[in-house]
């Protein structure tokens, strides 16, 4: 679902970032990270720390976060060629090709598919994997290449059910930290410590291959302070996959393909959000994944109506009481400047990569791309820390 109203170039969302501002480890305690307060209506910027967010939230505000939990989706395996591989139609193998095939390969689990045991994955090096090749991670854990997709992903067949694949991945795999978090800079000494740090304190629903990093700044104590103040809480689930972190490679923004990601909004949480909207209370999204879930679910009735009635006016797409309903399934919404937000009133988010879908979404929420880039420029000048383990901004 692409929602763009003007022709935009990916380069319109670029900015210069010194490499030493890319955070390689989290701040301790988490809520001691810095916080940029962005008032988008009057275009004013203030500099605080995340624990100061208590002063910017009010009794009755509804804070909505993504409760997804990251699993160890990065697997290192060894290629084992099946005796029957060269008989697969459409695949021609030579002795030279087999001898030159790399023995080791890294598999990045993205998401399970509908067919039992089938997963969409990324592979490195993926171009040399062929149909029928088996990748072994442990004596009791392996998979076979069954499809190579045009977008560079592969479909792999495991013998286990999806939840067992995750269990074994957690046993044999590694935490899928982003590539800009390099081991030579990593201050976290063990895989167990990294697993704890690359996770929100409220994560419960396992299924993500990357963390919803805006939530990293919350601590148990900070959440308790917000509850005492009268701030209310709701949650969604979006299992982060290709839709969130795949880079934009097309020159025109509208040519980027947004992959679907699985989300869930329960009826109880939908009703909490509907009540806040009907009572004029703020709905504050923690992270871009939460924004995309809420706004996509809000649009579902509109998209269904437009499918049935193509001439339906945009005027019919406004939010009404009890309009958000429970939903479980895929979304692929791509939010860019010009989008009309119906649910989210304020946003807590980190500082994102240049030319990414995430900075495009925040630009849409700020409603002024040039002002957002000004915020990023000031963040650079003020030595904010960027990306997953970096600092945050509150856009209100």
Q: How far apart are the first and last CA of the chain?
A: 26
**8-state DSSP, 62:** E
Whole-number pLDDT of residue 110: 92
For residue 245, is it left (φ>0), alpha (ψ between -120 and 50) or beta?
Answer: alpha
Kindly report, as residue ranges, where domains of CATH 2.40.10.240 are found in the chain.
74-172
Cα-only R_g, the chain: 22
In which band, very low, low, confident or very high, does the pLDDT at 32 lie, cut at 50, 70 and 90? very high
pLDDT of residue 102: 52
Contact 174, 116 (CB under 8 A): no
Reported as a single tens digit per residue, the pLDDT across 210-248 is 999 999 999 999 999 999 999 999 999 999 987 777 788
Checking if the pLDDT of 83 tops 70, the result is: no
Q: Is 316 exposed, middle or buried (0-12, 13-18, 19+ CB in 10 A)?
A: exposed
Q: If you average pLDDT over residues 77-94, what whole number do you get? A: 56
Note the pLDDT of residue 382: 97
Any residues with CB less than 8 A from the CB of 29 and at least 6 apart, and which?
219
Task: Supply angle C-alpha 305, 311, 313, rounded to 5.
Answer: 80
User: What does the pLDDT read at residue 245?
Assistant: 75
Do residues 292 and 333 touch, judged by C-beta distance below 8 A?
yes
* CA atoms of 26 and 214, how far apart (whole Å): 12
Look up tokens 């459409």; give the residue: 90
- Distance between CA 156 and CA 133 in Å, rounded? 10
pLDDT band for position 2 (50/70/90)? low
Q: Which residue has the tokens 């080791």?
A: 104
Question: 247 in helix, strand or coil?
Answer: coil
Q: What are phi and psi of 170, to 5 degrees?
A: -65, -25
Helix (H) / strand (E) element for 36: namely strand 34-39
Mean pLDDT computed over 195-215: 92
Q: Is 178's pLDDT higher than 70?
A: yes
**Cα 392 to Cα 35: distance, rounded to the nearest angstrom:** 5
Q: Which CATH class is domain 2-70+195-395?
A: alpha beta
Distance CA(141)–CA(383), nearest Å, equals 45
Mean pLDDT, residues 328-348 taken together: 94
Give start-end residues of each CATH 3.40.1780.10 domain in the chain.
2-70+195-395
Which H or E run includes 228? Answer: helix 220-229
Closest CA to 200 of 215, 188, 210, 214: 215
Structure pTM? 0.86
The H or E element that residue 222 is part of is helix 220-229
> How many helices, marked H, and strands, marked E, lie in the chain?
9, 19
At residue 310, does pLDDT exceed 60? no
Q: Which one is predicted more confidently, 189 or 334?
A: 334
Tell which CATH architecture fits domain 74-172. Answer: Beta Barrel (2.40)
Q: Which residue has the higher pLDDT, 33 or 315?
A: 33
Nearest alpha carbon to residue 282 among 228, 230, 353: 230
């Amino acid at each position: 679902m692409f929602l763009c109203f003007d022709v935009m170039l990916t380069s319109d969302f670029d900015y210069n970032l010194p490499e030493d501002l890319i955070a390689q480890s989290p701040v301790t305690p988490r809520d001691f990270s810095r916080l940029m307060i962005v008032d988008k209506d009057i275009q004013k910027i203030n500099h605080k720390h995340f624990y100061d967010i208590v002063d910017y939230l009010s009794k009755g505000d509804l804070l909505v976060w993504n409760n997804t939990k990251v699993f160890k989706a990065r697997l290192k395996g060894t290629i084992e060629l099946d005796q029957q591989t060269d008989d697969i139609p459409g695949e021609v193998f030579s002795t030279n090709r087999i001898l030159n095939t790399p023995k080791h390969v890294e598999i990045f689990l993205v998401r399970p598919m509908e067919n039992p045991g089938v997963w969409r994955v990324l592979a490195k090096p993926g171009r040399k994997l062929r149909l029928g090749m088996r990748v072994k991670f442990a004596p009791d854990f392996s998979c076979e290449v069954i499809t190579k997709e045009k977008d560079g992903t592969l479909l792999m067949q495991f013998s286990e059910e999806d939840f067992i694949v995750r269990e074994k991945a957690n046993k044999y795999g590694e935490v899928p930290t982003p590539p800009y978090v390099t081991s030579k800079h990593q201050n976290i000494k063990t895989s167990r410590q990294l697993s704890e740090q690359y996770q929100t304190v409220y994560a419960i629903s396992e299924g993500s291959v990357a963390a919803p990093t805006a939530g990293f700044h919350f601590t148990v104590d900070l959440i308790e302070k917000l509850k005492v103040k009268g701030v209310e809480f709701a949650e969604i689930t979006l299992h982060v996959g290709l839709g969130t972190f795949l880079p934009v490679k097309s020159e025109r923004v509208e040519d980027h393909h947004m992959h679907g990601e699985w989300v869930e909004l329960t009826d109880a949480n939908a009703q909490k959000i509907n009540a806040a909207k009907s009572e004029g209370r703020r709905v504050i999204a923690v992270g871009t994944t939460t924004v995309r879930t809420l706004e996509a679910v809000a649009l579902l009735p509109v998209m269904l109506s437009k499918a049935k009635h193509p001439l339906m006016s945009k005027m019919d797409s406004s939010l009404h009481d009890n309009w958000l309903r429970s939903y479980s399934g895929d979304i692929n919404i791509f939010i860019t400047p010009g989008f009309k937000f119906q649910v989210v009133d304020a946003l807590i988010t980190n500082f994102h990569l240049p030319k990414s879908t995430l900075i495009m979404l925040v630009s849409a929420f700020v409603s002024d791309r040039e002002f957002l880039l000004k915020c990023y420029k000031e963040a650079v000048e003020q030595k904010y820390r960027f990306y997953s383990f970096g600092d945050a901004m509150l856009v209100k």
